[in-house]
Structures are given as structure tokens and as C-alpha cells.
Structure 1
Amino acid sequence: MYKIATLCLFLMLSSSTLFALQNIQKDTSYTVNNSYHKYIKKFPQIDIVKPQKFENVYEIENIPFKTLENRRLYLDAFMNTSENNPAVILVHGGGWKSGDKSHMKPMAEYIASKGYSCFAIEYRLSDEAQYPEGIYDVKEAIQFIKSNAKKFHIDTTKVAVLGTSSGAQMATLVGTTNHNPKFEQQTEHASSTAVQAIVNLDGVIAFIHPKSSEGKMASWWLGGTSKEKPEIWKEASALTHVDKNTPPILFISSQYERFQAGREEMIHILDKHDIYNQVENFPDSPHTFWLFHPWFTDTVNYITTFLDKTLKHDEK
């Protein structure tokens, strides 16, 4: 309890330095409730997953991790009470334009209960900042978490990045650009941005691909259409960066093939380098299956089994 109290004091002191910051008007078109109403007619059995408290998990919300010119970015921490846990960074979806870190809370709570410290992070959406700023935000969140490893009970050599939908596209790009200087920025946090595992829930791997139908939302985030900015669309695609240094990856997919664009090609490269990868599919599910029962339990079980295999493999 002493360590928990110390962490809480540290975070309160950090928050006390907040200055008057501008409120950013966010796009709220993508919410859990909106997604529910979108799919309820086609999938009448669905039920929204609610947050759940676990005795071995303590939660601290809205921890500032990055100061911008006119505001700060925050993360929510869900920490297992055990020591030296693997860390999982969770990146929400919403077409790069909407969404909120709170959407990841039920998943973060469950994964944390299985022996992990989880962090649902905020990043700048496309109405505020276009690519690659959101990628920098995710990487700086990783640096901040590693820089506070003892306070967050994490092992900095065992870090996974997990994303859903557009957040999965971002998470996979973050994971495939480990140690890539083009995707690194000088920050106050000296820690590495490298991760050791990736979890992709229905996120495209290649923007320009026969299966992909990314259009207006991707164009807004990437600063132009694929014809106007072909090099940017290629650079922002995780498939471009897959090589022998790519971490193991878990793909969990809905029935919609467009969200699998580039997956087969990525798996081919991973197999060539003998890098572990795993694919799980829900053939009759909504795109946002992770938000709903009956798919949530299988989803988090796939994730924790994969993380145990890739991040806890040396534990007896």
C-alpha cells in the first residue's frame, strides 16, 4: 500500500503543475453507444461490455504524459499489484478523427488482472494534428511509461502495443518502426520507444492495397489522397517497415476483409524471418467486436494467451 500511496502522491504533484490550457473541441461521432446502435439490428445479441473492478488492479486516470503548446495529453493506468509486470499500451480507434481512451477501459482492466500494467492513452486526432503527430504521441507515451517503470510496476524490456481499428493501424506502425530514426523525436524522456509485441484488432496494414477502401478519413489524417500523397500513404503503412526486427504480432479480425489489407503480405515476411504471428477471426461479428459481448471474452483471452507466450516466456 505504501508504494501505491507514493505513486498517487507523485501523480497528484504532477497534476498540480497544470496551467490554464485551451479546451480542444473533439469529434464525438464515434462512441461505444453509437457503435452499439449501428450494429444492434444486424447483431441483436450484442451487449456493451462494462468496466469491471478487480481486487488485484488499481486504477489512476488522467495522468499527464506530454505537454503541448496549449494543452496536455493524458493516459489512464491500470496496474496489477504485483511487481515488474509486462506493460501493455492501448490505442483506441475512431478513424483517426474521433474516439476516446475510455473506450479501452474494460479491456485494460481485464488484461491488468492477468498480471500486466496497462495504459490507455490519449493522442492527437486528425482535426487537431495530422500524421505523423499521433504516432509521435504514442511513442512518447511509451517513453513516459518506461521512464516511470518503478512507479508503474513495469519491466521495460517487456512492452506490448495494442490497438483497435485505426488505433490498430497506428499500433502496428509504432511496433514495426522500432529504432527507426524517422519516427523518433527528441523528448524529455530518454527511454526507448521499442516494443516487444504487437496486438492488432481489425487495423489495416497497408493503405494502398486491393483490399483496402480507406478514403476520406485516411486522407484527412494523412494530409491528402493517395494520389496526392502516395509516399505518405506508403510511409504510414506498417507493411512498408516489416523486417527481421519486427516483434511478434497477434491479429484478431472481424468479418470485414477491408480491415485485413496487407495482413497476408505481412505474415509472409514474418514467416520468412521466423517471427511468431497468430491470427484469430470472428467470421460473424461487427467491426468493433471488442466493445461487445459475446466477443469480448474470447478477444481478451486470445490477447492474454498471446502476451503470456511472447512476454512471459522466460517465467517459470
Structure 2
Amino acid sequence: MSAPKIKFRDMHVPADQESPEGMQIVYGDQNDGYACVYLPDIEYAQYEDRSLKINIVMPSRAKGPYPLLVYVQGSGWLPQSLYMAIPQLSDFAHHGYVVASVEYRHSLEATFPAQIQDVKTAIRYLRANADKYQIDPARVAVWGDSSGGHLSALVGVSEGFAEFESDLYTEQSSGVKAVVDFYGPTDLLQMNKYPSKVDHDAGDSPESLLIGGPIQEHPDKVSRANPITYISREKALPPFLIMHGDQDELVPFNQSVLLYEALKEAGQDVTFYKVKGAGHGSRFWTPDVLEIVRKFLTAYV
């Protein structure tokens, strides 16, 4: 049984003048700038019986267009917990961003480059539906953590590489204005050179599952998946913000050093922060860290 539709009367309701003893007053924001809405499980692509979803958090006031922040949740390229970062990401919607958390095909159902193809497809879908979601298609940033940081970095360095694009929404660009990489892998063959709780060279490691075989036995496939492969002086890249905990037990801190040095050597715009005392996401998502992200996005998006 459907709920009855409420009937509204055409009348002006004046401000209430009652003031009981002990009552206090606080003033509301005329623009209601802090309110946002949540749009869950929006399908952006279909592969046979596999539906890929986006979760959107956006300002509730219809006064866009707003810049778009595409978020890629880390998962070791395995099945994602797509809703994990929504509480933190909502704060960016409060500050005037449309935030979209993107699902991709995980490595148990498709090997690389399916994952980057999906993220880029999601960006193009959002641009194609810019009016619907109050998006400014000229102001798009991508942000991810761990494997999501890896894919976000790949988005930033690989614009124009046809093998990373799908045949959906081809009239749109998958390019971005800025990249935020939280502790993402960047050169998979170098990961075992530093202390880690994971044997990254093992045949069943997340990195090996991603490329479809033990990474040390497939260097060419690994090179295609490494963001640093696509960095050069010949092509201007979007600005990068890299942040990594100094006690990361899963992705060695050196992975971010490699990306930072490659970008800097190529003359690209990059900012790098070591987060003291932080692990692989633990003690990381603090107000100070999120404020650094916010200032970076404000400057470039």
C-alpha cells in the first residue's frame, strides 16, 4: 500500500513569536549550506549480469553546478566495501562538491586493465549526466586510497591511452584536473624490497591477482599497470597530492616516494606528505589530513 500524498495549502506561514522562559535562539543559515543528500547504488555500466554502481553525496541546494570529486575505495583490487568512506566524504559535499564513490570490477572477476577502464567509464558517465547531478564537467578531481590510490594515479597519468577506455559514453572525457593519492601502489615489482605484512611477489598476492599471474614472472603486464610507466616531461599532468603513513604495514612508504620522485623529475606539479604515526589507513583520516586535501582541491579544482 502506497503512502497517501500530503496536500499542501497555498498560504504564508509567519515566523513564530513565542518565547518561553529558558528557551535559547540559534540562527539558521539562509543558504542551508551544510545540507546534502545521498543517492545510493546508481548503475553506470552493465557487463552481462554484472552491474557496476556509483554512490553519490551532493549538496541538497540546487544551485550548482559543483565540482566533482570521484572517489575510488581501496580493497586490494578485491571486492570493495563501496560505502566505507561515505561518512568522511560527506564532509566534502557539505563544502560544495558532488562526491561519487565508484565501484569497479574486482580482480577475481576480471584482470587489469578492467579496473581502470571502469573508473574512467564512471567519470565519463558522470560527465554525461552532469545536469542531472549538478556537476561542472570542467572541474573534476579523482581521489583514492590504497588500490584506489593506484587507480586514481593511473587516471591522472594515462589520459589518451586507448586501452584504458571503454566503449561507453565515448563522447565524454575521462580526464581530471587534480589527483589525490592516499598510500597507493605505484611500482608493483618494487613492493617486496621493503618490509610488509604481504608477500607481494606471491602468486596469490593482490598484485599478482590483478595482473593474472605472479608479478615477477610478468614484468610487461606489470609495467602496464604501474602509474610511473606513464610519467614523462612530454605531457603535462594534473597536479598530484600524495599522502602516506610512515608505518604502513601493507603498501610500503617507498611506493609513494617512487611516484613523487618520478613526477618531480618530469617537472610535474606534485605535493607529498608523510603522515607520522599512521598505518595503512589507521590514524590517517584526521581533520588535519582532510583539511590538506580540501585546500589542495580548492586550489586546483
TM-score, normalised by the number of residues in structure 1: 0.75
> How does 1:167-186 map onto structure 2 within 5 Å?
167-186=148-167
CA distance in structure 2 between the partners assigned to 1:157 and 1:96 by the alignment: 28
Larger radius of gyration: 2
Does 2:278 correspond to 1:288? no
Q: Within the alignment, does 1:214 sit opposite 2:200 as a pair? A: yes
Percent identity reads 26
How far apart are the structure 1 equivalents of 2:252 and 2:142?
18
Residue of structure 2 aligned with 1:264, choices 257, 273, 285: 257
The 8 Å contact of residues 86 and 156 in structure 1, kept in 2 or not, is answered as yes
Q: Give the secondary structure class of the aligned counterpart of 1:227.
A: helix
1:301 aligns with 2:282: no
Task: Give the whole-Å Cα distance in 2 for the aligned partners of 1:106 and 1:259.
Answer: 27
Shift of 1:262: 4.2
- Asked if the contact 2:80–2:103 (Cα under 8 Å) also holds between the matched residues in 1, the reply is no
Question: Partner residue of 1:229?
Answer: 218
Residue 32 of structure 1 is matched in structure 2 by: none
Residue ranges of structure 1 left out of the alignment (5+ in a row): 1-53, 312-316
Amino acid at match of 2:106: L
- In the other structure, the counterpart of 1:69 is 48
Between stretches 208-217 and 193-202, larger displacement belongs to: 208-217
RMSD of equivalent CA atoms: 2.0
Q: Note closer, same or farther for the CA distance 1:256–1:239 as it changes in structure 2 (3 Å cut).
A: farther
Q: Answer yes or no: is the 8 Å Cα contact 2:148–2:184 preserved in 1.
A: yes
Q: What is the alpha-carbon distance in structure 1 between the residues aligned to residue 103 and residue 285 of structure 2? A: 25
Query: 2: CA distance between counterparts of 1:99 and 1:265?
Result: 26
Question: 1-side partners of 2:298 and 2:269: how far apart?
Answer: 13
Indicate the structure with greater helix content.
1
Match of 1:39 in 2: none
**Which AA in structure 1 matches 2:246?**
Q
Q: Distance in 2 between matches of 1:274 and 1:231?
A: 26
The farther-off stretch of 209-218 and 80-89 is 209-218
Give 1:240's aligned residue: 229
The normalised TM-score by structure 2 is: 0.79
Q: Show the 5 A alignment for 1:71-86.
A: 71-80=50-59, 81=61, 82-86=63-67
CA change 1:271–1:228 in 2 (3 A) is closer
SS of 2:215 mapped into structure 1: coil
Letter in 1 for 2:291: N
**How far, CA to CA, are the matches of 2:146 and 2:169 in structure 1?**
30
Q: Which of the pair has the greater relative contact order for Cα pairs under 8 Å at 6+ separation?
A: 1
Q: Is the 8 A contact 2:121 2:168 kept in 1?
A: yes
Q: CA deviation at 1:132?
A: 1.0
Residue type at the aligned position of 1:108: L
User: How far has the Cα of 1:256 moved from its partner?
Assistant: 3.5
